[in-house]
Structure 1
Amino acid sequence: MANYSMRWVTMDSLEEAKKALHEIGADPAGVVHMAGKGLGRGIKLEQVPLRVAHILKQEMLSVGGDAAVHRNVIVSQVEFTDVMLLGTVRQLEKLSAKVLAQPFGLKQIGHDLKRLLGNLEPPKSRAISCRGKELRLGERTLIMGILNVTPDSFSDGGKYIDLASAIAQAERIAAEGADILDIGAESTRPGHVEVSAEEEWQRIEPVLKVLTECVDLPISIDTYKASVAAKALENGAHIINDIWGLQKDPDMARVVGEYSAPVIVMHNQSGTTYHQLMGDIFTFLRRSIEQAEAFGLAGDQIIVDPGIGFGKTLEQNLEVMSRLAEFRILGHPVLLGTSRKSMIGKTLDLPVDERLAGTLATSILGVTAGVDIIRVHDVQENRRAVDMADAIVRGQRGAHYVGA
């Protein structure tokens, strides 16, 4: 007995838990039953009616977990309360099954909880069809390279406004290992001046027409204007990247739906006031997802972006960064765009041209959180950093074990 050792084993998903149990020689049938017992989850429901909160509390206790509610629930002095379900994956799975037969909207909670637990598992390898191009997700983190054909972008405004320099930069982005090329023709930096749809298209059109012929990458167009998106898709673009999540231009959802174009929906708002930061962001993104779905898009065709640097203070940006993994609950691919942004500049007190190291740190955090796409200016450096992080993070825990 004196020779035994004890250690903590990191298990963040059912797959990792199963590998760890198989490694010790556990019975395969027992592994299926036990894996979920080693994973703790905290699931928050916001603004739950009082009677539903009582039922959730009771049912969580019955399966061996617990539920935290507002302290005045016990004396029925509140009509609504947030609820934090506290338990293992196994207990939460039992809860989701039990409440399916309950009244007061609990059936929907059961379905949503089951889907959420599934979304927290590592994504499987799959392909997104991008209007003739294909992107593979779940195997490695993809890099989106930024090409700004603007005179006033915060980082590289004016560098690529003539056709020759824009094409040369696009070819460099492709050669350095980007998976997607994102073209922007209107600066969205703080305090930017909006340009007309006509001027934005005049900047994009000549570059797009050449790049669709000479760059073998899916091309994304960074615009929130439906008319620009329609012209770009008509002229060979593959993806639309909307910084207003389909909620600025009422025709944008229709346009991307008609062209069956994958769309990136980013969280954004005017001002930095929130009721609950993460809750409000998810409410916005769910609205964007619903609008895309209403026009026929689904699943991986809808990519969500937390919107770092948009409608958020430094502290709020940092909190969102610390909670990146939570965006997986939406069930869609996640894109992270932090490259050279003011969050890095303010945190490190550095000018735009000295923010590469800070950007790399955020990119690696994105990989560890399960982000699918990283949007950056410095492609080669981020490609190398992300590949190294992928080699460590994606599927390595227990990967050496080749048993049952």
Structure 2
Amino acid sequence: MHNLVTMSRKGLLEEFNKIGTDPAGGAVMAPKALHRLVKIYDLTPRQANIIKQEMLGKGGDAAVARGVVDASVEKTDVLLMGTEKQYRALIKKLRMQPFKLADLAGELEELLKNLGRRPPRELDCRGKKLPLGERTLVMGILNVTPDSFSDGGRYNNVEAAVARAHRMVEEGADIIDLGGESTRPGHKPVSVEEELERVIPVLEILVREIDVPISIDTTKAPVAQRALEVGAHMINDQWSLRADPDMASVVARYRVPLVMMHNQHHTVYRDLIGDMVQFFRESIAMAEEAGIPRENIIIDPGIGLGKDFEQNLELMRRLRELGCLGLPVLLGTSRKSMIGKVLDLPADQRVEGTAATVALGIAHGADIVRVHDVKEMVRVARMTDAMVRR
């Protein structure tokens, strides 16, 4: 005998098939084997007590603060423990309860749906199609800046930048991410005019010569607008629509994919992943209100942005938890300081450390990896895909 570990309905059904279980019976049993831990924030004692009793009645459980039973606390977080079948039964009961528990039932149902297997699909980048879910996509970084932390100045002229883009495509890049403003700690902000002067001459050539989609890494709506007019295929916003109030409408107008990164000006968190999920939910709501289709949204956890060293490592360990949003995840760890601090190596010697983060990230659910060393990371992605996507 051995301990069987599986996190997915598909994996369970495969095991049932090996045993020779009747398919209808397997479909009934699968929810009994999918165990989930779900954390809910800021419930009243009344809400928490109802949820705990309902979960206990269904064979699950719920951890609550000590003072919930006598209402000596005003609020509590709740950690639900149960199978998918138990959650389904809980949702059914909560829909009939007062105290806003019917709303909570809807949120739980959406979470379970998001945690289910997302079928492969195509991401439409203005006619250029990218396969999501079949294999890991590799986004090559093209910084046309003098002060990028890793390769500042190397591609800060049109000829060098275009040559670099061609080389990355030859090495297997699925997307080129073109950026004209550094985001390294202590970077100097640049004006719209200067960013356009850096990006547009390169972009004008790339849209003619490069077959893969070109992403524009910017937080400024005027830069995004001009780049999309020239022919860019997607926008990578490191502030998730929060730096420029016009960004959402620009992206919506052109109906292009949007990468939204988690970012903040400090490293204080109540709960790292919980706070990030709330951040993304707010930005997703902003995007959808502006008319950006949910299927065009990609989230980036923002390794190294608004997080200290230990928080970055924790995020890598817990990356799979972002799956509750049901959206593709882009991971950008390439050559970052987290790797430098572990290995005590400068930026240009972090390829092996980057490879470790890419492999772990893919195993934990990343759909796209954003990298400098394209040839090496394409190989890492293909090897990791062979192990985790089958």
Query: Please, which of 55, 58, 70 is the counterpart of residue 60 of structure 1?
Result: 55
AA aligned to 2:42 is: Q
C-alpha distance after superposition, 1:159-189 (max 9, x if no partner): 1111111111000111111111100111110
AA aligned to 1:175 is: E
SS in 1 for 2:31: helix
Query: Please, which of 214, 222, 227 is the counterpart of residue 222 of structure 2?
Result: 227
**Structure 2: how far apart are the matches of 1:106 and 1:232?**
46
**Structure 1: how far apart are the matches of 2:18 and 2:84?**
20
**Structure 1: how far apart are the matches of 2:256 and 2:100?**
34
Pairing 1:12–2:19 present: no
SS in 1 for 2:43: strand
Give the equivalent residue in structure 2 for 1:3: none
Pairing 1:92–2:87 present: yes
AA aligned to 1:153 is: S
**1:339-354 matches, cutoff 5 A:** 339-354=334-349
**1:229-248 matches, cutoff 5 A:** 229-248=224-243
Pairing 1:69–2:64 present: yes
SS in 2 for 1:101: coil
Give the alignment's Cα RMSD to 1 decimal.
1.0
AA aligned to 2:324 is: I
Pairing 1:393–2:388 present: yes
Are the aligned partners of 1:160 and 1:169 in contact in 2 as well (CA < 8 Å)? yes
TM-score by length of 2: 0.98
Are the aligned partners of 1:22 and 1:28 in contact in 2 as well (CA < 8 Å)? yes
SS in 1 for 2:21: coil
**Structure 2: how far apart are the matches of 1:118 and 1:387?**
28
**Structure 2: how far apart are the matches of 1:75 and 1:48?**
14
C-alpha distance after superposition, 1:203-223 (max 9, x if no partner): 011100000000001110000
Report which stretch shifted further, 253-262 or 208-217.
253-262
AA aligned to 2:330 is: L
Give the equivalent residue in structure 2 for 1:134: 129
Give the equivalent residue in structure 1 for 2:310: 315
**Misfit runs of 4+, over 4 Å:** none
**Structure 2: how far apart are the matches of 1:14 and 1:261?**
32
Pairing 1:124–2:119 present: yes
Query: Please, which of 171, 174, 178 is the counterpart of residue 176 of structure 1?
Result: 171
How far off its partner does 1:122 sit?
A: 2.8
Give the equivalent residue in structure 1 for 2:276: 281
Pairing 1:204–2:199 present: yes
Give the equivalent residue in structure 2 for 1:189: 184
Are the aligned partners of 1:324 and 1:369 in contact in 2 as well (CA < 8 Å)? yes
Are the aligned partners of 1:36 and 1:90 in contact in 2 as well (CA < 8 Å)? yes
Are the aligned partners of 1:337 and 1:375 in contact in 2 as well (CA < 8 Å)? yes
Give the equivalent residue in structure 1 for 2:293: 298
SS in 2 for 1:145: strand
How far off its partner does 1:65 sit?
A: 0.3
How far off its partner does 1:97 sit?
A: 2.3
**Structure 2: how far apart are the matches of 1:351 and 1:271?**
25
SS in 2 for 1:143: strand
**Structure 2: how far apart are the matches of 1:44 and 1:225?**
35
Give the equivalent residue in structure 2 for 1:43: 38
Report which stretch shifted further, 335-344 or 16-25.
16-25
How far off its partner does 1:98 sit?
A: 2.2
Pairing 1:260–2:260 present: no
Identity of aligned residues (%): 55
Structure 2 runs not aligned, ≥5 long: none
Are the aligned partners of 1:17 and 1:36 in contact in 2 as well (CA < 8 Å)? no
How far off its partner does 1:14 sit?
A: 1.0
How far off its partner does 1:364 sit?
A: 0.6
Are the aligned partners of 2:136 and 2:369 in contact in 1 as well (CA < 8 Å)? yes
Pairing 1:381–2:354 present: no
TM-score by length of 1: 0.95
AA aligned to 1:20 is: E
How far off its partner does 1:234 sit?
A: 0.8
**Structure 1: how far apart are the matches of 2:10 and 2:110?**
16
AA aligned to 1:304 is: I
- Aligned pair count reads 390
**Structure 2: how far apart are the matches of 1:98 and 1:19?**
31
AA aligned to 2:193 is: E
How far off its partner does 1:19 sit?
A: 1.0
How far off its partner does 1:334 sit?
A: 0.7
**Structure 1: how far apart are the matches of 2:351 and 2:49?**
50
Pairing 1:360–2:345 present: no
Are the aligned partners of 1:127 and 1:135 in contact in 2 as well (CA < 8 Å)? yes
Are the aligned partners of 1:300 and 1:333 in contact in 2 as well (CA < 8 Å)? no
SS in 1 for 2:95: helix
How far off its partner does 1:298 sit?
A: 2.3
How far off its partner does 1:275 sit?
A: 2.1
Report which stretch shifted further, 106-115 or 350-359.
106-115
AA aligned to 1:271 is: H
**Structure 1: how far apart are the matches of 2:184 and 2:82?**
42
